[in-house]
Amino acid sequence: MIKFENITKKFKDTSVIKNLSFEIEEGKLVAFIGASGCGKTTTLKMINRLIKPTTGHIYIDGEDIATKDVIELRRNMGYVIQQTGLFPHMTIKENIELIPKVQKQDSEKIKARTLELMDMVGLNPEDYLDRYPTELSGGQQQRVGVARAFATDPKIILMDEPFSALDPITRTGLQDELLNLQSKLKKTIVFVTHDMSEAIKIADMICIMDGGNIVQYDTPENILKYPINSFVAEFVGKNRIWTSPEFIKSEDIMIENPVTCHRNMELFKCIETMRHSKVDSLMVIDTKTRFLEGIITAKEIQGVADKSKPVNTVMRTRFPSVSNDDNIIQVLKTVDSHNVSDIPVLNNKGILLGLITKSSLITTLSQQYLESEVS
């Protein structure tokens, strides 16, 4: 969708952007983040040619934007900035309808679209359309700014720290609204922020910049789990993963090779296997497919007088489990609701991938506090 190819930018003798090459997929929300002066806003402004690259090319849908009429280019992009950019002498209605009228769209369609946009950002048209920006709160003005950005139904929306000047409650509400809109409309959104929590919350991809370079460009989950170097780890924060527990998955905390047996194994051999491996349960699997057929515990075996019986006469075939993609919150809920200490991790075909034990859960949860002490 948007492709940067060997982009550099110099202001006099200062290099602000140093040979950027990356792509933004259509329908994704990409957050650019970094310290002041890292080049994130400059990168965003080159997409609508508010800033011209010193060298390199930017393509949208395969077309070099340098060959396009700059006015037409900008009219086909939404743009939201920190100060909203609303014209103070125009009503809210006039602000939203400005570009559609310049494009000479049908007046009835413009009117219907304006009402739709106001509803989309949670503002009652009857209460707000005839007001002026100064009569609205900061949060309301930003909602109007977002509505105006969507007025021409552009494929690309550029957002330059749009919520940074707002109070935390208003900011959180607008982040939620943006997520809701994006889930429905799937626009390509480039979002500049200095707040890592905001980036993690709203973005499909995060681009961390430093000194005009991209340090890491990846999903929020991968950046939290696998920071590419110490700069990213420090920038993200060692304990940041704990503010987003939905990114801690079963597969991250499971024991990958739990002790297993097959359905025809005699019970006394199971006891020996448990004693040797220092476990109190075995996962009963099909030895060819690793399909989980049941679970057998030492306590259940102790209740059987004849230890020569096969496992399948005693094993439990109904048991709670989690998928490899379930997060730690879902795992804890399963543990709590079923009052169990061991939870098998299965894929969608019922194949055993691992085992979460009380010990592995405690180790994972205690890591939060260990890291807090170290930091």
pLDDT over 90 (residue 188): yes
Q: Which helix (H) or strand (E) holds 190?
A: strand 188-193
pLDDT over 60 (residue 114): yes
Q: Tell me: the pLDDT tens digits for 26-44?
A: 999 999 999 888 999 999 9
| Beta-bridge mates of residue 78 | 157
Q: Is 81 helix (H, G, I), strand (E, B) or coil?
A: strand
Can you give the pLDDT at residue 17? 94
| Distance of alpha carbon 143 from alpha carbon 119, whole angstroms | 10
Contact of 73 with 26, CB cutoff 8 Å = no
pLDDT (average), residues 201-220: 94
Can you give the pLDDT at residue 239? 60
pLDDT over 90 (residue 247): no
Q: Tell me: the pLDDT tens digits for 79-94?
A: 988 776 789 999 999 9
Q: Tell me: the pLDDT tens digits for 42-100?
A: 999 999 999 999 999 999 999 999 999 998 898 889 998 877 678 999 999 999 999 89
The letter for the amino acid at 248 is I
Burial degree of 144 (CB within 10 A; 0-12, 13-18, 19+): buried
Residue with tokens 């409309």, as numbered in its chain: 185
DSSP-H helix ranges across the chain: 40-47, 70-75, 92-102, 107-120, 125-128, 138-149, 168-185, 196-202, 220-225, 230-236, 250-253, 267-277, 298-302, 328-338, 358-374
| Distance of alpha carbon 84 from alpha carbon 68, whole angstroms | 26
Q: Tell me: the pLDDT tens digits for 314-339?
A: 999 999 999 988 988 888 888 888 88
The mean predicted confidence, pLDDT, of the chain is 89
Write down all domains in the chain, each with its CATH number in brackets: 2-241 (3.40.50.300), 251-365 (3.10.580.10)
Can you give the pLDDT at residue 261? 94
Tell me which DSSP letter residue 135 carries: G
How many CA atoms within 13 Å lie on the side-chain side of 310? 8
